[in-house]
Structure 1
Amino acid sequence: MAGTQTLAERQAAGRQARERAKRSQHAEIGNTERDPVELLRANSAGRVEALVPLRYGRMSLSPFTFYRGSAIIQAHDLAGTVNSGIAFPICGDAHLMNFGGFATPERQLVFDLNDFDEVANGPWEWDLKRLVASFAIAGEHMGLGRGPIGEFVWAAVHEYTERMREYSEYSTLDLWHEIISFERMMETAATDEGRALIAKTSKKATTRTHESVLAKMATQRDGRWTIQDAPPALFHPTGPNSLLGKDKNWSDTEAWKGKLAAAFDEYLSTLSTDRRMLIDQYELHDIAFKVVGVGSVGTFCLVMLFVDGHGKPLFLQVKEARGSVIARYYEAPGLEHQGQRVVVGQRLLQAASDSFLGWTSGPAGRNFYFRQLRDMKVSVELERMSSTVLQGYARLCGWALARAHAKAGGKAVEIAAYLGSGERLAEALTEYSLGYAAQNETDYKAFMDACRSGKLEARSDEDMAADFRV
């Protein structure tokens, strides 16, 4: 435990970690002697077969969307690099699109990490490397050169370094309560353009509520709400638009309803008593299968629509939790239940987590976790950001990642000592990010060749939706 060591001893341990992994060595991109297509195939095993082509279709849009969906490839490569030896629960997929705004249970709008499907014990620098590489790949996608990309990386790494140094002086309780509110973001924004974007995003968040989803996603008849099918992204598991194929044992039968009821009861047991009493005030109206994200396409994901006595909705998302790609390549103790792994990791890393976070086991031995479908959630619109704003966003992501790591690991003192001024790591990670962007481009071309040759099948949302049009 950190409490058994003095601050001086912990600082010495952080500096000593430089001997295990020199900061300059973080420029190396790792073991890239592998077949990216085979790794993706392995990662697709066990998913809904009919949806795997949609996963590849979404990944095929650009090298950046490919990167978002291929966390397994970078995890493989990182396993071939030196690591600091300072490990704790990390996000595992900390690319720039997995940060965003959402409401805390107290209705405060905050900025934080917002995707934890890959959370597992791992070296903290793996998260930072995934983040900076995402800025390099996104920058190239936007047509920017090495100069601006280097500034994005420098901004993220230096903000991470400065915040970690600051957090190394926080008390344990102060660190646990640290939160990045939109008000603080506004105060620290360096430009008028950045402040305007934060204000616009904050306003947008207030419109992204359960009620706004209800109007778009469901229809009411005889006092009951029904989710509208919009295949391939949204459909009823038992209806004519279902894509579950051989997994049709999830059909609307009494046996399935019994299994679902048992799974829901198990989920409720993972919540606090007050949250269980809160959900008890709602009535379940409908359940549908919903396809989400890029990397998660093909995993089992349901949406449950509840309505209270005033006719107001609550949407819960039930998402399958599979084994983390980090745990696959970094050996460390972890939780056996994958849904519990995600929930515990999220609670550790986030400053304030969803009131309805919980986990359960479902049919066919699958693990799941619950969360709200939409609760003032907003994310960055990359294509609309200028180079200046993107640099400010890189600082925000560096800040949020440092806060998450400092809280989850309790190792802010050791990491701050390892980083020093941050200059050497910033130089190494600038080289790393550009090198990994080039490798990602090579992997993307191999992936696209596999799609064109028929080795992999890739289909767009539009193509698949056309299958259901009459």
Structure 2
Amino acid sequence: MPAGEGAQAAVATPAETHARRASGKDTRKHVPRRSHAALGNVDRDPVALLELSSAGRVERLVPLRYGRMIESPFAFYRGSAILQAHDLAGTPNSGMTIQICGDCHLANFGGFASPERTLMFDLNDFDETSPGPWEWDLKRLTGSFVVAARHLRHKRGVAEELVYRAVRSYQERMAAYAGMSILDTWYDAITFERLMAQTQEPQVRKRLERGMERAAARTSDALLPKLSEHDGERWVIRDAPPAVFHVRGENTLFSPEDNWMKVADTGKALNEAFEMYTSTLSPDRRLLLSHFTRHDVAFKVVGVGSVGTRCLIVLMIDNHGKPLFLQSKQATQSVVARFFGSPPVEHEGRRVVEGQRLMQAASDAFLGWNDGPFGRHFYLRQLRDMKLSPEVELMDADMLGGYAALCGWVLARAHAKASGMALEISGYLGSGDAMAEALVAYSNACADQVERDYEVFVAACRSGRLEARTDADMAADFRV
């Protein structure tokens, strides 16, 4: 077929566009929007599921994971994506399976630099990304706003308004993407400059300006003196256990029985892993990295839900003495794949990378994957490159509402870009409040369940079934 004929055939006619939107609307007959109020399959032992998700982690760091989760129901929610995925598997779904984030709570949005050094606002955690129902992401998001609102002592009406703002924003933005070409959707990016141009509120503008200033200072150059010290001709990462330590150093939290402690030639293993990683990058990125020399590698504990998974930071220096910090993070089976039944993948690190590239407007220049010793899968990216996290504790109700609407927009853009199904999803959502009302009911019930699960979790820690230790407790073990 001549190229011109193929291009002509690919253009959607008004009738085809209408049919796609109508097919989404027709889905309501089988899965009414009100059905999304269902909480799902909560007849389970939350502690057993948490133990399942802790299997294979660094044994001495699992208590730190629980210690971070025990701080509040919101911290517990952040670290227990496995529970919600399990529960949602028992609910009706729209049947529109797309690439989803899988852990789309409000703290997994934030700012970071694009390869062109533009400060973006987007989803920034894809450890659980997988094909799944688009509404699972939306439910994870709205549930997080109610759990957080309760934690911050906001009234019920405030919490419900946050859900409305997030869902209505998602709905309206999805309708807008449904009217855009797929190429325009792919090019769409939510930058801090764009957010500044769209707001007239002095308080919001001030926060955006402050965020941009803070982001500009969060670079590898700034990290170098904070995380490392010069030792002769090399830079060495400083131990600060339990957060940072050398795997085979005197402050290690690895047990002697761990197979990582039995690697015969660590230098060779690191070189092989790095060679595989660079093979997943584009040629220009490989050339760029060839100007750097590896100086040191250390273990770094990150996040709440990821504590205990294997995460390394790699310090590299170029021939001008300038640093580059890479983060190598273990990737395990997605909780979405575990309970939704997504097709198996050959490499979990590649799953994370490809899901991230598909959903983000722009991804880290050094995003790639590799294998570690003994067949574990990893993905790599820059460490904290102009990265900003939302400070929801400092937001009042009005600002939280604006943040909820922003997260709804970001999620709609990510889903529209990743799926090309904005027409179908928008057709399903419609223009009324049916989905918002269903998710208000769902999110209130979800927050109630989180609080019940949290009580069971706390009781398990107090009884000794689980061990929970804080960062301060574990750091005290290393003080002389």
Q: Encode CA deviations 1:305-325: one digit per residue, 9 max, x unaligned.
A: 000111110000000000000
Residue 129 of structure 1 corresponds to 139
Offset, 1:248? 4.7
Q: Encode CA deviations 1:118-176: one digit per residue, 9 max, x unaligned.
A: 00000000000000000000000000111111111111001101100000011111111
What is the DSSP-based 3-state SS (H/G/I as helix, E as strand, rest coil) of the residue aligned with 2:328?
strand
Residue 230 of structure 1 corresponds to 240
Residue 265 of structure 1 corresponds to 275
Residues 171 and 429, structure 2, Cα contact 8 Å, conserved in 1 = yes
Residues 227 and 288, structure 1, Cα contact 8 Å, conserved in 2 = yes
1:85 counterpart = 2:95? yes
Instruction: Tell me the TM-score normalised to structure 1 length.
Output: 0.98
Selected match of 2:149 from 139, 143, 150: 139
Map 1:404-443 to 2 at 5 A: 404-443=414-453
What is the DSSP-based 3-state SS (H/G/I as helix, E as strand, rest coil) of the residue aligned with 2:196?
helix
Q: Encode CA deviations 1:69-111: one digit per residue, 9 max, x unaligned.
A: 0000000000011100001110000000000000100110010
Selected match of 1:294 from 281, 304, 320: 304
Residues 170 and 409, structure 2, Cα contact 8 Å, conserved in 1 = yes
Unaligned runs of 5+ in 1: none
What is the DSSP-based 3-state SS (H/G/I as helix, E as strand, rest coil) of the residue aligned with 2:411?
helix
Residues 36 and 443, structure 1, Cα contact 8 Å, conserved in 2 = yes
Selected match of 1:110 from 96, 120, 127: 120
Structure 1 vs Structure 2 CA RMSD: 1.5
Map 1:310-349 to 2 at 5 A: 310-349=320-359
1:156 counterpart = 2:166? yes
Paired with 2:339 and 2:259, the residues of 1 have a C-alpha distance of 33
Paired with 2:446 and 2:296, the residues of 1 have a C-alpha distance of 44
Alignment: residue pair count: 470
Letter in 1 for 2:206: A
Paired with 1:134 and 1:432, the residues of 2 have a C-alpha distance of 11
Paired with 2:33 and 2:263, the residues of 1 have a C-alpha distance of 58
Residue 174 of structure 1 corresponds to 184
1:305 counterpart = 2:319? no
Paired with 2:143 and 2:10, the residues of 1 have a C-alpha distance of 31
Letter in 1 for 2:367: L
**Which deviates more, 254-263 or 97-106?**
254-263
Paired with 1:247 and 1:351, the residues of 2 have a C-alpha distance of 43
Residues 317 and 372, structure 1, Cα contact 8 Å, conserved in 2 = yes
Selected match of 1:457 from 433, 452, 467: 467
Assess, with a 3 A threshold, how the Cα gap between structure 1 residues 90 and 176 changes in structure 2: closer, same or farther.
Answer: same
Assess, with a 3 A threshold, how the Cα gap between structure 1 residues 422 and 39 changes in structure 2: closer, same or farther.
Answer: farther
Paired with 1:2 and 1:95, the residues of 2 have a C-alpha distance of 37
Residue 22 of structure 2 corresponds to 12
Residues 254 and 261, structure 2, Cα contact 8 Å, conserved in 1 = no
Instruction: Tell me the TM-score normalised to structure 2 length.
Output: 0.96
Paired with 2:432 and 2:368, the residues of 1 have a C-alpha distance of 38
Offset, 1:215? 1.4
Assess, with a 3 A threshold, how the Cα gap between structure 1 residues 336 and 177 changes in structure 2: closer, same or farther.
Answer: same
Paired with 1:217 and 1:172, the residues of 2 have a C-alpha distance of 43
Unaligned runs of 5+ in 2: 1-8
Paired with 1:406 and 1:153, the residues of 2 have a C-alpha distance of 20
Residues 171 and 431, structure 2, Cα contact 8 Å, conserved in 1 = yes
Residues 237 and 248, structure 1, Cα contact 8 Å, conserved in 2 = no
Paired with 1:57 and 1:439, the residues of 2 have a C-alpha distance of 20
Selected match of 1:468 from 466, 470, 478: 478
Q: Encode CA deviations 1:396-415: one digit per residue, 9 max, x unaligned.
A: 10000000000001110100
Residues 237 and 289, structure 1, Cα contact 8 Å, conserved in 2 = yes
Letter in 2 for 1:468: F
Offset, 1:386? 0.9
Identity %: 57
